[in-house]
Structure 1
Amino acid sequence: MAGTVLLSAVACTAGGGPSRVKPSPEASSTRTASPRADTSAPGQVADASRANLTAQLSIKDLPGPHGMFTAAVGRSAATFVWESADGRFCSGSAATDGGFTSTLCASDRRDIPFSVRPALVPLLSTYTFAEVHVFGADRETVRSVTCNGRPLTVRRLPSVLDGRRALYAFDISEPTAGRVTVTVVRGRATATEHVELLGGNLRHKASCR
């Protein structure tokens, strides 16, 4: 599963699986190992993972004043996104025990410009402890995300690009083929868009249509 779209790159993750990450990479720092099982509360997992991830970042890639946003939390690892002090979009995952970290930042804040028309902007698609997706919504608001009509839990994260781009995240427990359906609101109208999943056309994968 390699990133093949515009502004995509591949970063190593736990267990050697790839992360398909949308922003143009400038630098990526990675240490890999299999994370140990952990039954800590989600808040404790996020705090420990955030600390381990932050410790591996270069000064220029550290989070800006708004800090890191938690995109997903597993049993012993978590995934985060953030803006650097100079406004570049970054993402990363880390285990609670420091067994692995994976980070990637855009080269320039202009690499992922604000859309001139309503649009979803895929920002992160990765598989570590789960299949995690983060996307922006420019000039529209997300109402729901569904797989074959089944609602998925979607999290609204703090906005980026000086508050103009709303961020949303969802995760699926295993690699899944197809695409999810995203219902959005544009003014008083609703519309349907889609986010492609990582499973491709592999028939043995669970599938969303």
Structure 2
Amino acid sequence: MNRPLVCAVLGVALLPSVVACTARGGRPAEAASWGAASPRASAPGRTQVVDASRANLTTSLSTADLPGPTGMYTAAVGRAAATFVWETAAGGFCFGSAATSGGFISTSCVHDPRDVPFSARPALVPLVSTYSFAEVHVIGADRETVRSVTCNGEPLTFRRLPPFMNGRRELYAFDLTEPTAGRVTVTVVRGRATTTEHVALMGGSLKHRTSCR
């Protein structure tokens, strides 16, 4: 399973195979919704946060990190910040978070598509784990479809984003209000079969943190 891009706004933590988080950004397109969006702002407020965060992020992208023709997709929205994902024109995968004005801007990219290849068998592909206004995760689903994400049996709201890799990789995002230990359970459909997989969260095994088991 591919390792996700991991980035915290304060105290950057990156896996060895990915590039460092930098003060950059990008231009998103609207994302399709699966279930309710992150309940941190009203509908009008969400639009304002997304637009302002997008503008703040866009001004700092390098040419190599600019989104390709499909634009950028909104993975999560807070009261004064948002997180986006996008493909570059060369097929790289990027994510970025930005405050609505000033504050932080953080991005990370894998520029070589071979570093996040399409799976030859049904699989979840963890792509992003980041903490800014929330703990945000973006996962790819290759040759399967996500039906639910749960923590200790309780459903979490998740968003189905437009697919990547010329429509082959389904993309999903979910977030938690605070750093959480353990792992979530992801129910997926493969053809006519239903099974479960798991995605590790950012809280590690620290017992004082909220935990999913």
Do both share a fold (TM > 0.5)?
Answer: yes
Q: Deviations over 1:118-152 (max 9, x none)?
A: 00000000110000000000000000000011000
Change (3 A) 1:168 1:53: same
Which amino acid in 1 is paired with 2:138? V
Matched, 1:55 2:49: no
Distance, in Å, in 2 between the alignment partners of 1:196 and 1:141 is: 19
Distance 1:30 1:12 in 2: 12
User: How many Å separate the matches in 1 of 2:5 and 2:46?
Assistant: 29
Look up the match of 2:186. Answer: 182
Shift of 1:98: 2.7
Whether contact under 8 Å (2:81, 2:97) holds in the other structure is yes
- Is 2:166 the counterpart of 1:162? yes
The CA RMSD measured in Å over matched residues stands at: 2.2
Instruction: Report percent identity of matched pairs.
Output: 67
Cα distance in 2 between the residues matched to 1:153 and 1:131: 13
Equivalent residue letter for 2:83: T
Q: Tell whether 2:89 aligns with 1:85.
A: yes
> TM-score, with normalisation over the residues of structure 1?
0.87
Q: For 1:147, give the aligned amino acid.
A: C
| Structure 2 equivalent of residue 43 of structure 1 | 47
CA distance 1:169–1:65, change in 2 (3 Å): same
Which region of structure 1 is more displaced relative to structure 2, 101-110 or 118-127? 101-110
1:29: how far off?
Answer: 2.3
- The correspondence for 2:12, drawn from 12, 18, 26, is 18
Contact 2:84 2:97 in 1 (8 A): yes
- Structure 1 distance, partners of 2:165, 2:63, is 20
Cα deviation, residue 60, structure 1: 1.4
Q: How many residue pairs are counted as aligned between the two chains?
A: 196
Task: Return the match for 2:107 from 103, 120, 128.
Answer: 103
How far 1:23 moved relative to its partner? 6.8
The answer to whether the 8 Å contact 2:90/2:111 transfers is no
Q: Which of 64, 69, 75 is the equivalent residue of 1:65?
A: 69
Distance 1:127 1:105, change over 3 A: same
SS at match of 2:53: helix
Q: 1:72 to 1:10 in 2, by over 3 A?
A: closer
Where relative contact order (Cα < 8 A, 6+ residues apart) is larger, the structure is 2
Match of 2:134 in 1: 130
Match of 1:204 in 2: 208
Q: Does the CA-based 8 Å contact 1:21-1:126 persist in structure 2?
A: no
Q: Displacement of 1:110 after TM fit?
A: 1.3
SS state at 2:47 partner: helix
**Structure 2 alignment gaps of length 5 or more:** 25-40
- 1:93–1:123 Cα change, 3 Å: same
Structure 1: runs of 5+ lacking an equivalent: 32-37
User: Cα offset for 1:30?
Assistant: 2.1
